[in-house]
Structure 1
Amino acid sequence: MKLLHIIASPRIEKSNTLRVSAAFLDELDATVPDLEVETLDLFAESLPGLAGANIDAKYSLMAGAPVDPTHADSWERIEHTIERFLAADAYLISTPLWNLGTPYALKYYIDCIVQPGYLFRYNEQGYPVPLVHDRKMVVVTSSGSDYSPGSPLQALNFQEPYLRAIFGFVGITDITFVHGHAMDASPTHRADGIASAIDEARVVASSEAWRDGDVEVA
């Protein structure tokens, strides 16, 4: 199994989110034979631009036209980013909750890879059809406040609904979220939140679906 670990936290060794993700990966490594992990650090990576030639290429594809030859070299960087995503059998996204949503680096990356003809296509009626199937995704996320189900702030967590929607849009519907809540409330809340999230992450990684290698790429 090849897993792409997409990091959307700039704090690295100080990241609460990445502490939980490390526990998930350790458990998964003990669970899944021949696990290969590729890391994509979005705050360190130079992602291709989405203006100029590339935005023209995108709209050509959306209109059903080929990419203009003068834009081909620039568009190749977008295609390389997409190919790197599609080469994985499963995904781990490590992302904090920023301003009720996703960090800008993760949103930018999603805008790079979700392209017509690659991750989805349009049918004869003009409706989008997903092209990415039989993949798993785990999203490890942390937040300063408590956005857990039943909390007063639950409705303000726009990150999980967005990520479920956009990856579901391209066909990835097997998505598990592991949350670390209330990291900024107090040192006690942080320690409890990390410990609880680590326990949950280990349970997810050792689950039967992962243990049996139940991932097939279409």
Structure 2
Amino acid sequence: MVKLLHINASPRGEKSNTERIAGAFVSSLREHHDHVRVDVVDLYNHDLPAIAGDNIEAKYTLMVGRPISKDHAESWAQIERAIEHFLSADAYLLATPMWNFSIPYALKYYIDCIVQPGYVFRYNELGQAVPMVHGKKMIVASSRGGDYSPGSPMNAFDFQEPYLRAIFGFIGITDVEFITAQPMDITPELREEAVAVAVDQAVRLASRPDWAVVTADRLRVNPLGLKPQPLVAEEEEATPAP
């Protein structure tokens, strides 16, 4: 069984053009591969743990290689559950429109939750970042108001695709393919044409036979328990009274 985590970063629900493309991909995937299970995370209807207070202190404790104190452990467990859920998938379908040349705030918040040291990346003895997530693939379904394709005048303003490739490549997910509908905001005719082209691409991509072998690389994924340091500090032994 292959688990696909469908991460929806559009707040428009059924009106979302991005979700039209993602939905076409899922439908085609189920039609051609009966061993695929889809798990959906709607980022606008999903409680994410705070990246502040105890959790920001815990994050910086990990960054400097120290174990998390027991005072922060309960709060940090919420972050761990989000990471564990993300790592439980074999592949990812990320549905995200372009907002202000980049990604919606909900998706950035989600990324900030799951990209944590010791879970999805670590540092080696030279201080270099080493990815810990292997054997995964990602499809990004995207829509843009203008035309940001390579060679276009607006391409220099595309901070969406480079960022997503960089951040997920940083943790080890380098097999990333984009399905992009653009331009969406010029005329209704251009919008429908762009969506139709993207939907066709999504259907063809999902029908490829390589989806049948996604699970072959699952054993390469580091289990959640493998961390460069313990997460919770051991209690210090009480010093006997003189």
TM-score if structure 1 supplies the norm length?
0.97
* Cross-structure match for 1:69: 70
Deviation at 1:216, TM superposition (A): 2.1
- 1:100–1:157 contact (8 Å) kept in structure 2: yes
Q: Judging changes above 3 Å, is the alpha-carbon distance between structure 1 residues 137 and 215 closer, same or farther for their aligned structure 2 residues?
A: farther
- 1:136–1:215 contact (8 Å) kept in structure 2: no
User: 1:62-211 counterparts in 2 under 5 A?
Assistant: 62-211=63-212
2:174, 2:80 → 1: CA distance? 23
2:41, 2:216 → 1: CA distance? 21
* Cross-structure match for 2:53: 52
1:85 alignment partner AA: F
- Which of structures 1 and 2 has the bigger CA Rg? 2
Deviation at 1:20, TM superposition (A): 0.5
Runs of at least 4 residues off by over 4 Å: 211-215
- 2:7–2:42 contact (8 Å) kept in structure 1: yes
1:198, 1:71 → 2: CA distance? 45
- 2:90–2:214 contact (8 Å) kept in structure 1: no
Structure 2, unaligned runs of 5 or more? 221-242
Same amino acid, percent of matched pairs: 55
Instruction: Choose 33-42 or 75-84, whichever is displaced more.
Output: 33-42
- 1:90–1:215 contact (8 Å) kept in structure 2: no
* Cross-structure match for 2:42: 41
1:98, 1:107 → 2: CA distance? 11
- The answer to whether 1:24 aligns with 2:40 is no
Q: Judging changes above 3 Å, is the alpha-carbon distance between structure 1 residues 73 and 143 closer, same or farther for their aligned structure 2 residues?
A: same
- 2:48–2:110 contact (8 Å) kept in structure 1: yes
Q: Secondary structure at the match of 1:43?
A: helix
Structure 1, unaligned runs of 5 or more? none
2:215, 2:5 → 1: CA distance? 16
1:69, 1:187 → 2: CA distance? 56
2:54 alignment partner AA: A
Deviation at 1:109, TM superposition (A): 0.5
1:102, 1:213 → 2: CA distance? 27
2:205 alignment partner AA: V
Q: Judging changes above 3 Å, is the alpha-carbon distance between structure 1 residues 186 and 209 closer, same or farther for their aligned structure 2 residues?
A: same
C-alpha deviations, 1:53-107, integer Å up to 9, x for none?
0011001111111111000110000000000000000000000000000001001
Instruction: Choose 26-35 or 108-117, whichever is displaced more.
Output: 26-35
- 2:91–2:214 contact (8 Å) kept in structure 1: no
2:152 alignment partner AA: S
Indicate the RMSD between aligned Cα atoms, in angstroms. 1.0
- 1:31–1:211 contact (8 Å) kept in structure 2: no
TM-score if structure 2 supplies the norm length?
0.88
* Cross-structure match for 2:12: 11
